[in-house]
Structure 1
Amino acid sequence: MSKFYIRPMELAELTGFYERIQRDFSCGEYAPYAVIYQQLQDHLQKALVFCEGKQDLAYSVCADSHNNGYVLISLLAVFKEFRGQGIGSAFMKTSRVMYEHKQAILVEVERPDHAKTLEEANSRRRRIEFYEKAGFYLIVSS
C-alpha cells in the first residue's frame, strides 16, 4: 500500500493554503480568495491535499463533479521544501488512480509567451515540462 494519500482540504484550511497559492503562482494565475472559497463551498471546485503520514506535501484545486466526465486541475503545487523529490509526480500518479473512472484529466497552465517577466515565463515552462513528463499533451489555445 502506498505511503501517500490525498485528502480533501477543509474550508477552514483555505486561508493558509491561499497564502501558499499567492507564493506559488503569479498574480493573475489564480482566482481571488473569495471566489475560490465560494466555489469550494458550492462544490464547484474541490481542494485536495497530498500527504504522507500526517505531513502535507502538496495541494491542488480542481473541478471534478461536472457530468461531462472530465477533471480540470486549475492549480497544483508542491510545498517549496519538498520540491525536487518526486512529490509532484507521486501526486499525479495518485490523482490518476483516484480519477481512473473519469473520461480524462485536463490541466490548465498559463502560456509562457504571455508572461510579464522572464521568471514567470520560466516557471510556466517548468510546469508544462512537468505535465508533459507526467504524460499530458500540450494543447495551446489563443
Structure 2
Amino acid sequence: MKNKNLYLEKVNLSNEALQTLREYLDYDFPFMSRPPFRIMKSWLKKDKMHGVFLTDGTERYGYALYKERTEYNVLHVSYLAILPKFQSSGYGGNLIALLKEISPGSSIFLEVEDPDSTKEAEDRILRLRRISFYEKHGFTIFPNVKMHHFGYPMRIMSYGPKPHISLKKLLQKLFLPLYGPIFTQLVIRTKNY
C-alpha cells in the first residue's frame, strides 16, 4: 500500500546530495557493474539522467536513477534500491508507485540480473526474489531476451504498454545518449534465446 507521506525528492546537484547518492550507489552496485560516478554525475548535470530519493522529508529510504524518453513514451530505470535497513517494509513498492506517476501511461523498462548466470545458490535466490518483486508490481520479463551490460548478464522487464519500436532498437535509443554509438554497441549486446 502506498504511504501518502512519501514523495520523490529530486537529487539536486549540491555536494551533499551527490555524495549521498555516490555512497548509496557504491554500496548497492559494485563499481564494475556501472559507469564511474564522475560520468554518472555529468549525466545528471546534463539532464541525460535524473535522480530521485524516496523520502518523507526527514529520512531517505531509497533512490532511483532514470531517463525519460518521451518520444518513445518510455521511462528507463537504470538504478533502483531501498536502503538495507528499510528493505522488506513496503518502501520498494512505494518507490515503484511514485516512479509510475512520473510519466503516466508510459512504459517503464528496467534490467535485473539474470538468475541463470550465477552458480551461487544464494545469489540465484536473491535475483529470483528481485524478479518476483517487480512482477508483484506489474512488470513482466521478456522471456527470450538477455542483455549484457558492462559484462553483467541481465534480463529486461517492463511495465505498461509496449513501445512502437523493436526492443533492440529501443535499447539502442535509450543508451545512445549516455554511451555514444560505439560504446553502446560494446556495452549493450542483446541476444534472443
Tell me the TM-score normalized by structure 2.
0.65
Q: CA 1:66–1:15 in structure 2 vs 1: closer, same or farther (change >3 Å)? A: farther
CA distance in 2, matches of 1:113, 1:106: 20
- Residues 28 and 120 of structure 1, relative CA distance in 2, 3 Å threshold: farther
Q: Identify the match of residue 129 of structure 1 among 132, 143, 154.
A: 132
Give matches, 1:1-142, under 5 Å: 2-11=4-13, 12=15, 13-101=17-105, 103-115=106-118, 117-139=120-142, 140-141=145-146, 142=191
- AA aligned to 1:39 is W
The aligned amino acid for 2:94 is A
The TM-score with structure 1 as length reference comes to: 0.86
Q: How many residues align?
A: 141
**Aligned 8 A contact 1:50 1:59 in 2:** yes
Where 1:39 maps in the other structure, the secondary structure is helix
Return the letter of the residue paired with 1:8.
K
Q: More deviation in 113-122 or 6-15?
A: 113-122
Aligned partners of 1:66 and 1:120: how far apart in 2? 35
- 1:64-93 deviations in Å (ceiling 9; x for gaps): 145222000011000111111100001111
| Identical positions, percent | 25
Q: Specify the SS of the correspondent of 1:126.
A: helix
Query: Alpha carbon RMSD of aligned pairs, Å?
Result: 2.1
- For 1:84, the aligned partner's letter is S
Choose 1 or 2 for highest CA Rg. 2
